[in-house]
Amino acid sequence: MARTLIALVMLLIAAPGSAQEDLKSGNAMLPHCKRALSYIPPASGAEVPLALCMGAVMGIASTADRLPPEARFCPPPSVTPDQLVRVVVQYLEAHPARLHENFFQLAYQAMHAAWPCN
């Protein structure tokens, strides 16, 4: 099961991004991640992207210690889902020129930058 999850996350991270709002780019996911943080009930049909943001961020974080040593990041054991998403949102907002890139790659890079392993 763990190997399957790792393989799935790595495939998502490696998936090519596009400039379209197809829920793969930072542009498409940033508003949904912000909504997840503020607990604003989504408009009809927007539940899936909101859940995708939370699920993707938590899924990537859950593989942190299973990645190859050079790719690992080390969030504190007490990190909350809300904190994980806040780190990703902050990273996306700090790098607006990269929002067209793959959301999963950006989320990974945000957590890797926030919590490098020593």
Burial string for 104-115 (b: 16+ CB within 10 Å, else e) reads bbbbbbbbbebb
Q: What is the pTM (predicted TM-score) of this model?
A: 0.73
> Quick one: DSSP state of residue 43?
P
φ, ψ for residue 88 (rounded to 5)?
A: -65, -45
Mean pLDDT of 45-71: 85
pLDDT digits (tens, 9 = 90+) for 88-98: 999 999 999 99
Give residue-wise pLDDT tens across range 51-63. 888 899 999 999 9
Name the range with the highest mean pLDDT among 12-16, 17-21, 82-86: 82-86
Q: Domain residue spans in the chain?
A: 2-14+23-114
